[in-house]
Amino acid sequence: MIRHVVMFRFHDHVTAEQIAEFGRGLSEMVPQVPGILAYAHGPDIGVNDGNYDYAVTADFASTDDYRIYRDHPVHRAVIERFTGPLVAARSGVQFMFGA
């Protein structure tokens, strides 16, 4: 199994409504992309200082399935819609883990 993890830090001017819209955009994307075994995402809950603002985790059976997600037009459209207006910094990892 492959777990894809990505975190975003948003620009200071980003509003709660924009973040909620981003979340809805992700949730609406998931059923349109094949091969996603699990998908979880949400804003940081504020327990720790210095955190990023939002995280996404997505599980796939294989690297190929991850690539299908990464390159899928519906996913690319979400990235194009939100990255410019919202995202100040991004960090990502894909790693293997036991089922």
Residues that bind a copy of itself (CB under 8 A): 2-3, 5, 7, 9, 40-45, 47-48, 50-55, 57, 63, 66-67, 70, 91-98
d(CA 81, CA 12): 18
Q: Judged by CB, which is closer to a copy of itself: 56, or 74?
A: 56
Q: Judged by CB, which is closer to a copy of itself: 42, or 85?
A: 42
Q: Judged by CB, which is closer to a copy of itself: 12, or 93?
A: 93
d(CA 16, CA 32): 25
CB 89 within 8 A of CB 14: no
